[in-house]
Amino acid sequence: MSSATEPLRALLLESIHSDAVASLEKNGYAVELLDRALDEDELIARIPGVHLLGIRSKTTITDAVLAAAPDLLAVGAFCIGTNQIDLSAAAQRGVAVFNAPFSNTRSVVELVVAEIIALTRRLTEKNSALHAGVWDKSAEGAHEVRGRRLGIVGYGNIGSQLSVLAENLGMSVFFYDTADKLALGNARRCASMEELLSVSDVVTLHVDGRPGNSGLFGEAEFNRMRPGSLFLNLSRGFVVDHGALRRHIESGHLAGAAIDVFPQEPKGRGDEFVSELRGLPNVIITPHIGGSTEEAQQDIGQFVSGKMQDFVATGNTALSVNLPAVSLPAPVTGHRLTHLHRNTPGVLATINGILAEHDVNIEGQLLGTRGEIGYVITDIGTQYTTDVLEQLRALPNTVRLRLLS
């Protein structure tokens, strides 16, 4: 930890919104901001002495990175997904991870709706032709979205909100999800992916980044789609076989596609983008901007930076994605101990026994567990000795002990 005269350090990567920087600096953090991702070696070189790390989707946090960061207290994923972070390794080192599961939902949904309309009206081809000086006012191949059937794969926060907006546009909505989800409005649940593909004019993917979704959509799934249908992916790049998608576009089996995420993406602005999908007609490719609106990025910047700072100041872990959710109102007087430990029977009794032996009064306490990890916040009186802290740190199950004044 920094001394009383040295500010805590925050490293923010991938052009995180200025509101996050302003919030951290206002509360005394020294902030370093980079506009690109760092690979593992670069991050290992930069992270010693860093207390808060902010990333988006292109930076990978491995156990090796965490091992190089003994001062690191929290990682903020300024996005929805956290599959780029070794969550278990972070928990085992006492590092809390926070994300923004809802902040950019509306931005992604609006882009999906815009792309469905653009593809259905073949606006990409009309736009390209007119820029080339070719006037083509034909209605051939252009349709309304009203009355068309939308198939949503993944009915989480984004998929369900898209379902509502699509119905308001007059579309019939079908969805498939491996988990039981309540249908909104008149949406109809499909029993299988195959059923959804057989009935949908437009298929859009909104699945999470778990490893099991790798290669989810390939040659077999494209073959099952209806001739002349449209395909969209704004979820994760590795879930789709782009070679298969190109073949089905070129053969005319699919009428168009919109892709916002790719298996390999450039690290920063201006780097060359390489993809099998470049140059295809009626294919919209965008540089992973589903959640990149000023409104969404501002909300994410405020939300995630606030969660990290609250954890540092109070120890509260509400909405952490890797630690037990424990929140206790800030004490009026005294001190706060936060003790992260391996979840085995008797740890709380041992902690309280040590406090009792040293006549330390417990004024408030809350314990939570999550798998192999336990986390307890204890508010104590103003009187304690360094022996108390030393004994708590020396417990065989202790992962991390912090004293908050």
Beta-strand relationship, 335-342 and 398-404: antiparallel
> Is 288 designated active site?
yes
Superfamily of domain 1-103+294-322: NAD(P)-binding Rossmann-like Domain (3.40.50.720)
Please report the pLDDT score of residue 332 as a whole number. 83
Calculate what percentage of the chain has a pLDDT beyond 70: 99
Please report the pLDDT score of residue 159 as a whole number. 97
pLDDT mean over 56-74: 96
- Return the domain boundaries, the chain: 1-103+294-322, 105-285, 324-405
Phi, psi (deg, nearest 5) at residue 247: -60, -40
Please report the pLDDT score of residue 383 as a whole number. 81
Residue whose entry in the numeric block shows the structure tokens 């120890």: 315
Please report the pLDDT score of residue 384 as a whole number. 87
Tokens read off for 66: 């965490």
pLDDT in tens, 195-243: 999 999 999 999 998 889 999 999 999 999 999 999 999 999 999 999 9
- CA 103-108-114 angle, to 5 degrees, is 145
pLDDT surpasses 90 at 80: no
Q: Which is catalytic among the residues 236, 246, 248, 339? A: 236
Please report the pLDDT score of residue 251 as a whole number. 97
Q: How far apart are CA 382 and CA 161, in angstroms?
A: 50
> Is 206 designated active site?
no
Please report the pLDDT score of residue 4 as a whole number. 52
Residues in the chain, overall count: 405
pLDDT mean over 154-162: 96
Please report the pLDDT score of residue 30 as a whole number. 98
Band the pLDDT of 252: cuts 50, 70, 90.
very high
Q: Write a three-state SS string for the chain.
A: CCCCCCCCEEEECCCCCHHHHHHHHHCCCEEEECCCCCCHHHHHHHCCCCCEEEECCCCCECHHHHHCCCCCCEEEECCCCCCCECHHHHHHCCCEEECCCCCCHHHHHHHHHHHHHHHHCCHHHHHHHHHCCCCCCCCCCCCCCCCCEEEEECCCHHHHHHHHHHHHCCCEEEEECCCCCCCCCCCEECCCHHHHHHHCCEEEECCCCCHHHCCCECHHHHHHCCCCEEEEECCCHHHECHHHHHHHHHCCCEEEEEECCCCCCCCCCCCCCCCCCCCCCCEEECCCCCCCCHHHHHHHHHHHHHHHHHHHHHCCCCCCCCCCCCCCCCCCCCEEEEEEEECCCCHHHHHHHHHHHCCCCEEEEEEEEECCEEEEEEEECCCCCHHHHHHHHCCCCEEEEEEEC
Which residues on adjacent β-strands are paired with residue 231?
203, 257
Band the pLDDT of 373: cuts 50, 70, 90.
very high
| 24-33, 133-142, 267-276: the lowest-pLDDT one | 267-276
Q: How far apart are CA 61 and CA 76, in angstroms?
A: 11
The pTM of the full predicted model, rounded to 2 decimals, is: 0.82
pLDDT surpasses 90 at 269: no
pLDDT mean over 157-163: 96
Q: Which is catalytic among the residues 106, 149, 288, 339? A: 288
Q: How far apart are CA 186 and CA 190, in angstroms?
A: 13
pLDDT mean over 19-41: 96
Average pLDDT of the chain to the nearest whole number: 95
For 105-285, give the CATH class: alpha beta
For 324-405, give the CATH class: alpha beta
Please report the pLDDT score of residue 233 as a whole number. 98
> Is 143 designated active site?
no
Query: Can 1-103+294-322 and 105-285 be said to share one CATH topology?
Result: yes
Q: Which is catalytic among the residues 265, 335, 342, 363? A: 265
Whether residue 205 contacts residue 241, with contact meaning beta carbons closer than 8 Å, is answered with: no
